[in-house]
């Protein structure tokens, strides 16, 4: 794979029900609602989903040796989650994206073997999101 860095930016907002307690994933959805059961969801009303991502980015993420990094920023607080790509990634979901600590892949998956999940995020970030702060999620693949 080339050393070219590819990037996708997703803008979303927090929601009063963001609890970020899930131990193995974090999710950003284009839905405009969230129930308390959605403990992996950190942002709603996403302006882009995996189906919108550039083919070059998707192809780069399909390399099992690729490093995929997600930077979440809200209210001046930033968190970075690193994982890897996988040949099975399809990026065909038009509703939400998920980073996973496992190697499970579906149409929503944007990285596997992530080093953190929603439950690992700094609580100040989670509090800001639960108050509705705007979220910028930057995905980078190298």
- Domains plus CATH for the chain? 6-141 (2.60.120.630)
Q: What is the pLDDT of residue 2?
A: 47
Give Cβ neighbours of residue 48 (< 8 Å, ≥ 6 apart): 8, 9, 10, 11
Q: Rounded to whole angstroms, how far apart are CA atoms 72 and 42?
A: 9
Render pLDDT for 30-73 as a digit per residue (tens, 0 to 9): 999 999 999 999 999 999 999 999 999 999 999 999 999 999 99
In the predicted model, is pLDDT for residue 1 greater than 90? no
In the predicted model, is pLDDT for residue 29 greater than 50? yes
**Is residue 66 a contact partner of residue 142, using CB atoms and an 8 Å limit?**
yes
Render pLDDT for 84-111 as a digit per residue (tens, 0 to 9): 999 999 999 999 999 999 999 999 999 9
Q: What is the pLDDT of residue 4?
A: 65
pTM: 0.95
Q: Taking residues 115-134, what's their average pLDDT?
A: 98
* 140 beta partners: 7, 69
Of 44, 50, 121, residue with least CA distance to 80: 121
Residues in the chain: 142
Q: What is the pLDDT of residue 140?
A: 98
Q: What is the pLDDT of residue 76?
A: 98
**How far apart, in Å, do the first and last CA atoms of the chain sit?**
8
In the predicted model, is pLDDT for residue 127 greater than 50? yes
**Is residue 135 a contact partner of residue 74, using CB atoms and an 8 Å limit?**
yes
């Amino acid at each position: 794979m080339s050393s070219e860095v590819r990037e996708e930016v997703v803008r979303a907002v927090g929601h009063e029900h963001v609890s970020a307690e899930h131990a193995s994933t974090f999710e950003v959805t284009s839905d405009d609602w969230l129930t308390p059961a959605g403990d992996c969801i950190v942002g709603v009303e996403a302006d882009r989903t995996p189906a919108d991502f550039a083919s070059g980015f998707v192809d780069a993420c399909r390399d099992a040796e690729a490093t995929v990094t997600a930077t979440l920023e809200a209210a001046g607080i930033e968190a970075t989650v690193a994982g890897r790509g996988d040949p099975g990634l399809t990026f065909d979901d038009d509703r939400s994206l998920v980073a996973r600590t496992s190697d499970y892949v579906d149409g929503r998956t944007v990285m596997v073997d992530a080093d953190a999940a929603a439950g690992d995020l700094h609580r100040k970030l989670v509090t800001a999101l639960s108050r509705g702060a705007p979220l910028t999620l930057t995905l980078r693949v190298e």
